[in-house]
Structure 1
Amino acid sequence: MTDTAVVPPDVLTAVRTKHRALWALGDYPAVASEVIPGLGAVLVEAAGVRPGDRVLDVAAGSGNAAIPAALAGAHVIASDLTPELFDAGRAAAAAAGAELTWAEADAHALPYADAEFDTVLSCVGVMFAPFHHVAADELLRVTRPGGTIGLIAWTPPGFIGQMFTAMKPFAPAPPPGAEPPPLWGDEAHVRALLGDGVTAVHTEVRSLPVSRFASGAEFRDFFKSVYGPTIAVYRNVADDAARTAALDEALLGLAARFQDTDGAMGWDYLLLTATRG
């Protein structure tokens, strides 16, 4: 287990401020609803969420996993560092007939008691908390013994993992001690993070079919307008026309590697479920 004091409080505060603003950029709920709408339900099913379960969705965004968990009959808290995402989540929940609680919370310091939840989920969410060991310890801490942790994260060699690789040369430097988000999609890395805090670990790499984009240019333009991390990278090179053009080409090249002739892609992700020890 990692002591949160390893990360200085001022660094955590700065990261919290920066990441809240980053995910408020653009329109992340559009990604959730138009590109990956079914991914949260996959996680809820794999985690075996049942009526009456106390469920926490960490880095829930607009409720991609939290809403299906509520529809399964669980008592759900959708927590996220960026409450600007909650309006879209509330609207989606109302449309689906789901009742749940929305709460601002940092994955590095969850404001919940030890062992408070039967199931703790995160669907391509906690992977973006840059201090992985701190966030993993929080997942473990708030899950009751015998409870379930369920995670979905993009894999390093998959499309989104490679998108972050393509953007890295154009991005601002990460804070000291930060780790790349796609490492949460590496089985060995996540097993090491959770360590002996879990048993009965099950992992599986799956591919999400994505047919939202007819061309590489459509993918690039969508992500540079709605996806916070991509918007932030473009802003970082906005004063350099050559680097902006190079970033454009890097994302086009990425799409060309993954799209078939009809524009369809498969985005690989790691699905992990485990029992809290």
Structure 2
Amino acid sequence: MSQQTRPSPVADPADPADRALKARHRSMWALGDYPAVAREVIAGLGPVLVEATGVGPGDRVLDVAAGSGNVAVPAARTGARVVASDLTPELLEVGRRQAEAEGLVLDWEEADAEALPYAAAEFDVVLSCVGVMFAPHHHAAADELVRVCRPGGRIGLVSWTPEGFVGQLFATMKPYVAPPPAGVQSPPLWGREDHVTELLGDRVTDLRTERRTLEVDAFGDAAGFREFFKRCYGPTIAAYRGLADDPDRTAALDADLVDLARRSSTGPDGAMGWEYLLVTATRT
């Protein structure tokens, strides 16, 4: 795709500290089996975002922080021309194989959500499904979402809310992990209407936000949830690795995750409702 000179983002990708931070993020999301989370737990979110933004044949679509293509693949099924970009190449490779198995053609490109290697106004639709929310510097990431979307184009986001299950999962793990570097913002803030409104500002119109619930019944019970996330979800795996030499704190985190899942269960089979914020907007 074409590229052009553009202003430097707020987060400087040439800064050694930023490079080290992004390297840690890249490694964390490569841990475990995030594609299993995307496939077995949150697969329903991608089609929701594709439908909400009206993706269709001929649209040029960018999926930011695409992972293994939870949004990119459903978008490509509509006939859109799709680029799936992510910081972690291991996830992109899984997505590429899955798309090829369906006979779908997408571009899979390693890219930092805070410094996208694309021209201004290059895409008709810019999407991110529980992806860009994990970029450490929210304003830099939001600036990039807006920059690469053409005037009149659509921006669509799905983010976990602070009050919902995944937001509470991160709150539960917080006492067990090292504090983030200065300037790094909490991912579930993207699930707050006022935060997203402030991030996008007057650069968009027709901004719509809606809290929805993803029904999740993949685990059987609370312990099943904990074991699945210990095995598959990078942030949870990283939390446990940091406690490897502390069996008491490991046991405490074990108990806290089971307690969270039990409190969040809506039925005897461990089913839960995971709240998320759906955001759609038009680029001015």
TM range (shorter): over 0.9
Deviation at 1:91, TM superposition (A): 2.2
Q: Which residue of 2 aligns with 1:163?
A: 169
After superposition, where does 1:96-175 map in structure 2 within 5 Å? 96-175=102-181
Moved over 4 A (4+): 5-8
Distance in structure 1 (CA, Å) of the matches to 2:205 and 2:13:
27
Q: Contact (CA 8 Å) 1:55, 1:77: kept in 2 or not?
A: yes
Q: Partner residue of 2:244?
A: 238
Asked if 2 retains the 8 angstrom alpha-carbon contact of 1:152 and 1:272, the reply is yes
RMSD over equivalenced CA pairs, Å = 1.5
Q: Distance in 1 between matches of 2:233 and 2:196?
A: 25
Separation of aligned partners in 2, 1:125 and 1:3: 18
Alignment correspondent of 1:194: 200
| Map of 1:254 onto structure 2 | 260
Counterparts of 1:193 and 1:15, CA distance in 2: 22
Matches within 5 A, 1:5-20: 9-20=15-26
Shift of 1:89: 0.7
Q: Which amino acid aligns with 1:274?
A: A
Q: What is the CA distance between 1:3 and its match in structure 2?
A: 5.0
Partner of residue 276 from structure 2, selected from 264, 269, 272 = 269
In structure 1, which of residues 52, 67, 76 is the aligned counterpart of residue 73 of structure 2? 67
TM-score normalised by length of structure 2: 0.95
Residue identity opposite 1:30 in structure 2: A
Residue 17 of structure 1 aligns to a residue in which SS? helix
Q: Is the 8 A contact 1:2 1:133 kept in 2?
A: no
Task: Give 3-state SS (helix, strand or coil) of 1:4's partner.
Answer: coil
1:47 counterpart (53, 64, 72): 53
Which runs of no fewer than 5 residues in structure 2 stay unpaired?
1-6
Counterpart AA for 1:238: A
The alignment of Structure 1 onto Structure 2 pairs a total of residues equal to 277
| 1:225 corresponds to which of 219, 225, 231 | 231
> How many angstroms does 1:175 deviate by?
1.5
Greater CA deviation, 84-93 or 196-205? 84-93
Structure-2 separation of matches of 1:178 and 1:140: 20
For structure 1, list consecutive stretches of 5 or more residues without a partner in the other structure: none
Q: Which one-letter code corresponds to 1:195 in the other structure?
A: G
Task: Provide the C-alpha distance between the structure 2 equivalents of 1:6 and 1:80, rounded to a whole number of angstroms.
Answer: 17
CA 1:2–1:268 in structure 2 vs 1: closer, same or farther (change >3 Å)?
A: farther
| Amino acid across the alignment from 1:22 | M
Q: 1:201 to 1:2 in 2, by over 3 A?
A: farther
The 3-state SS of whatever aligns with 2:250 is helix
SS at match of 1:90: helix
In structure 1, how many angstroms separate the alpha carbons of the residues matched to 2:270 and 2:150? 44
The one-letter code sitting in structure 1 at the alignment partner of 2:278 is L
**Mapped contact 2:123–2:150 kept (Cα < 8 A):** yes
Q: Which residue of 2 aligns with 1:183?
A: 189
Contact 2:12 2:18 in 1 (8 A): no
SS in 2 for 1:207: strand
Aligned to 2:3: none
Alpha-carbon distance between aligned partners in 2 of 1:120 and 1:63, rounded to the nearest angstrom: 14
